[in-house]
Structure 1
Amino acid sequence: MAVCARLCGVGPSRGCRRRQQRRGPAETAAADSEPDTDPEEERIEAPPPRCSLLELPPELLVEIFASLPGTDLPSLAQVCTKFRRILHTDTIWRRRCREEYGVCENLRKLEITGVSCRDVYAKLLHRYRHILGLWQPDIGPYGGLLNVVVDGLFIIGWMYLPPHDPHVDDPMRFKPLFRVHLMERKSATVECMYGHKGPHNGHIQIVKKDEFSTKCNQTDHHRMSGGRQEEFRTWLREEWGRTLEDIFHEHMQELILMKFIYTSQYDNCLTYRRIYLPPSRPDDLIQPGLFKGTYGSHGLEVVMLSFHGWLARGTKITGDPNIPAGQQTVEIDLRHRVQLPDIENLRSFNELSRLVLEVREQVRLEQQEGQLEGKEPAGRPAQEAAAAEQPAQSGQGQPFVLPVGVSSRSEDYPRTCRMCFYGTGLIAGHGFTSPERTPGLFILFDEDRFGFIWLELKSFSLYSRVRAAFRNAEAPSPQAFDDMLKSIQAVAC
């Protein structure tokens, strides 16, 4: 109570008691006989005493320290012995683990193993904080999507894989590739999760803030007694639920390449580069993000849809030997809408081709005009195009059917659409030879699905939104996102 009284400025202060102790009996009696002074004058002459954090009770200091960022606490521990002793309270670090990293496990269970919440924060969460988020592995043209998260008392790297072809609306598949956890108080343990013999020793090296590498230290755990053939058959059963004899001949080359990706990557050091989810703006046509798309015999691939003014771009997160990961697969000009004909005429590929090529010629003329006059081509911005289609967005869709002769991996595509735009798609030969952009049609079906018709290939790709919550994946700024796109495209080239 005395401490609280001093903090609130009521009651005799410590200084007053010291002065009374220094007075003699006569001085004290004389002081008591003096007339009372004015209260206002007394308050002016005797300001409230200064209070220090050191005078606060320990339980209040624990509450204050627990509300501070964990990165500030080591500096606070250097202030004095009392602060350092209080910062050993596990309540403080339990709260920092929960609020900064979302650890909701009962951390009291750690006491059995002798590991404290402070150890979890300092030696696991804080030490490996730079690898949390979304990453693209450097696996030749194939790329990939790795999501590193705090999962209970582990940090786990999950490889996200597209659904089995052609089920584009199915959820993503995922499997753990590595995990980091505290086995003892000394340091965190990295384990490779790939292989048929259970978790085994691995290594993580943080090269820089937006890049890290992994290495398996026991690659014999990936091998099976029957050699590569047995490994391949086992992989087919696990990934596809089918035997080798059930797979059609046309898929064999691609399946072998896919198997090579997920086996050989752990025989060597594998590098990951950070990727961000695209930022969204109120005038975007739909919510940007990750989508699964069909790519002919290459199966399903992951594409990132982002908006850049009057342009929308689809960037490959996973790729194939023709168009590698990191390249721009489609680009949509949101200033140039394409009005589809009635359903009967839409069945004619020639009629659709004529409409798209007319828009391409218009775009070419506008680009020439813009170059001559030093200005951007005229056209309606994306937000105006979206506003013009309010009835369609409220659920009144336009009938849609694929033209005769256009191939599709799945016939289960939407039969109504909201709007269509002119766009271009990137095509190339094996090994990304002779790449070129060819005209096509972007079809917006709803908030979670869109399609693209490649005129030259007479092929249709259907894209469905990846519905997964990714933490630590937001770009710190629009410029940082644009720089990331340029970086992964440069790597792909």
Structure 2
Amino acid sequence: MAVCARLCGVGPSRGCRRRQQRRDPAETAAADSEPDTDLEEERIEAGAAELGSEWSGRSSSPSPPPRCSLLELPPELLVEIFASLPGTDLPSLAQVCTKFCRILHNDTIWRRRCREVLHRYRHILGLWQPDIGPYGGLLNVVVDGLFIIGWMYLPPHDPHVDDPMRFKPLFRIHLMERKSATVECMYGHRGPHNGHIQIVKKDEFSTKCNQTEHHRMSGGRQEEFRTWLREEWGRTLEDIFHEHMQELILMKFIYTSQYDNCLTYRRIYLPPSHPDDLIRPGLFKGTYGSHGLEIVMLSFHGKHARVTKITGDPNIPAGQQTVEIDLMHRIQLPNVENLCNFNELSRIVLEAQEQVRQEQQQQQEGRTEDSEGSGPPTEVREPGNEGAAALKEEPVQFVLPVGVSSRNENYPRTCRMCFYGTGLIAGHGFTSPERTPGVFILFDEDRFGFIWLELKSFSLYSRVQATFRNADAPSPQAFEEMLKNIQSLTS
């Protein structure tokens, strides 16, 4: 605490030591005792006042310069000072007072710590997609105190699409002395154990567990499998034996074998937003029939919106563009009585599909004529201010047509806008992929749906409300390049 006393400007104060002695480590780490902080500041002010009185009585001597403690410095200057200190001094510094503790939670300090102290891990913060066969995933790497932690984000249990995301730690890097760090694998049920991280390049890194025996459970594979079912699906083996057995076995063995060996992660960015976007882009949780809930990314690209899979399944792998919405072709749904008739909805959608086909053909012919020098170029229409328009739209009643299946019957009963779109379907192993017509339904700012016409199936999507830092694309071009890269991995 001598360091703390010097930094506070109070000298070898016994008050600081007494306060340290009467707290246990958990209380000290919290550093949220404001009464003690006020008392310490009063002592500092009192000391300064005594010195002022003493000097004022010495009229023959010049007045000394005013005394200033670290507590009086502006926060931005304290950030610069604290960022230059050794990492092992920061926990003690956080115990001095609430102000210091609050400043030490500033991301600027820890980002600089990653750059200067742990230079080889400076590119690891942000969002990543693990290369796990067709299943993909979402990893968020953040700084938490003296650790860099990799959190794997998982969808809620099927079919509760509006529930918050689940997450668990996969690895952590313990920030120790300058230029020193310990990597630990967090997978399994036996606690942290020795691991390794290799930075392949700026937007790619890999992890490896050096003690895979920590992943094993005492009851063997059967206990591991049942535990995994409870954690990942929220159900017992007996509940879903007949419905998902073959798929679950495949997923389990792929999942465990990947974490027993080296696993590669590739950076992903959150989509950029624009005021004219239909709704705010971002990550959503969606229902996919027997595949349960998956994580997707909604992004806007001029006349179209795209839904890209961040997690996938044996039919459509992660990275693929699962839904495409044509923002130039809005669909007016019939009234609720007629909407219940699936044939009526099918007729409306197929008419929109034919209109899109004719327009694409005309555009193609126009480009051909223009290349031959006969005729002006084809006019390209841009979407209007859909974002503002969607907020002004009065909600209309919505109900699923009879015969359309849905994993979640708790879908919204009103919607604001509908557009023509196409959905990607394929056989097992991404065989014979094709795009089929469907309807994109905008319910509100945080939920949308898609009716797969050919499958007679409905998918409901709900926004991921978690906040992700260090995940913004440096430019729109970088985001587009990222989408191409993750899609090419599974093509």
Q: What is the Cα deviation at residue 305 of structure 1?
A: 0.2
Alignment of 1:97-112 (within 5 A): 98-101=105-108
Asked whether the equivalents of residues 276 and 388 of structure 2 are also in contact (C-alpha less than 8 Å), the reply is: no
Counterpart CA distance in 1 for 2:454 and 2:366 is 32
Per the alignment, residue 423 of structure 2 pairs with 425
The one-letter amino acid paired with 1:202 is: G
The answer as to whether partners of 2:148 and 2:175 remain within 8 angstroms in 1 is no
Matched, 1:370 2:363: yes
Q: What percentage of aligned pairs have identical amino acids?
A: 78
1:193 aligns with 2:186: yes
Query: How is 1:171-320 mapped onto 2 (pairs within 5 angstroms)?
Result: 171-183=164-176, 187-320=180-313
Residues 311, 121 of structure 1: alpha-carbon distance in 2 compared, 3 angstrom cutoff: closer
What is the Cα deviation at residue 378 of structure 1? 6.5
- The one-letter amino acid paired with 1:408 is S
Q: Conserved in 1, the CA contact under 8 Å of 2:114 and 2:122?
A: no
**Could you tell me which residue of structure 2 aligns to residue 445 of structure 1?**
443
Which structure 2 residue ranges, 5 or more long, are not aligned? 1-66, 86-92, 95-99, 371-376
Which of 145, 149, 162 is residue 169 of structure 1 equivalent to?
A: 162
CA deviation string 1:352-373 (max 9, x = no partner): 0100110111111111111111
**Which of 403, 406, 419 is the aligned partner of 1:405?**
403
2:88 is aligned to: none
Tell me if structure 2 keeps the 8 A contact 1:94–1:118: no
Relative to structure 1, the CA distance from residue 156 to residue 163 in structure 2 (aligned partners, 3 Å threshold; closer, same or farther) is same
The code of the aligned residue for 2:351 comes to E
Instruction: Say which SS state the counterpart of residue 492 (structure 1) adopts.
Output: coil
Aligned pair partner of 1:460 in 458, 461, 479: 458
1:123 alignment partner AA: V
Matches within 5 A, 1:90-101: 98-101=105-108
Cα 1:378–1:460 change in 2 (3 A) is: farther
One-letter code aligned to 1:273: R
- Displacement of 1:255 in angstroms is 2.2
The answer to whether residue 150 in structure 2 is matched with residue 149 in structure 1 is no
> Helix, strand or coil: the match of 1:463?
strand
CA distance in 1, matches of 2:81, 2:334: 60
Query: 2-side partners of 1:173 and 1:324: how far apart?
Result: 21
Counterpart Cα distance in 2 of 1:119 and 1:358? 59
* Corresponding residue number in structure 2 for 1:382: 383
Contact 2:149 2:172 in 1 (8 A): yes
Is the alpha carbon distance of 1:203 and 1:390 closer, same or farther for their aligned partners in structure 2, counting shifts above 3 Å?
Answer: closer
**5+ residue gaps, structure 1:** 1-56, 75-89, 104-116
Give 1:389 shift. 4.8
Distance 1:471 1:198 in 2: 27
- Give the secondary-structure state (helix, strand or coil) at the position aligned to 2:489: helix
What are the superposed Cα offsets for residues 255-276 of structure 1, whole Å, 9 maximum, x if unpaired? 2233234322221100000000
In the TM superposition, residue 100 of structure 1 has moved relative to its aligned partner by 4.1
**How far 1:229 sits from its partner (Å)?**
1.3
CA distance 1:414–1:94, shift in 2 (3 Å): closer
| TM-score (ref. length: structure 1) | 0.75
The structural deviation recorded for 1:196 is 1.9
Q: Which amino acid aligns with 1:404?
A: V
Report how far residue 398 of structure 1 moved: 0.7
Structure 1 residues 490 and 121, CA, compared in 2 at 3 Å: closer, same or farther?
A: closer
Select which of 431, 434, 438 maps to 2:432. Answer: 434
- Structure 2 residue 120 is matched with structure 1 residue 122: no
Equivalent pair of 1:425/1:440 in contact (CA under 8 Å): yes
User: Quick one: distance in 1 between partners of 2:388 and 2:451?
Assistant: 24
Q: What is the distance in 2 between the residues matched to 1:355 and 1:120?
A: 56
Shift in alpha-carbon separation, 1:389–1:199, aligned structure 2, 3 A:
closer
After TM superposition, the score normalised by the length of structure 2 is 0.76
1:156-189 residue CA offsets vs partner (Å, 9 max, x unmatched):
0000000111110001100000001135566100
Residues 41-60 of structure 1 correspond to what in structure 2 (within 5 A)? Answer: none
Secondary structure of the residue that 2:187 maps to in structure 1?
coil
Partner SS, residue 266 of structure 1: helix
Q: In the aligned structure 2, how far is the partner of 1:96 from the partner of 1:214?
A: 32
Q: Can you list the C-alpha shifts for 1:358-408, whole angstroms capped at 9, x where unaligned?
A: 01111111111111112897686433445555532xxx3010000111110
Tell me the matched-pair count: 403
Cα distance in 1, alignment partners of residues 300 and 345 from structure 2: 25
Q: Distance in 1 between matches of 2:132 and 2:207?
A: 13
Letter in 2 for 1:476: P
Q: For the residues of structure 2 that align with 1:68 and 1:151, how far apart are their CA atoms? A: 19
- Contact 1:285 1:383 (8 Å CA) reproduced: no
Contact 1:336 1:379 in 2 (8 A): no
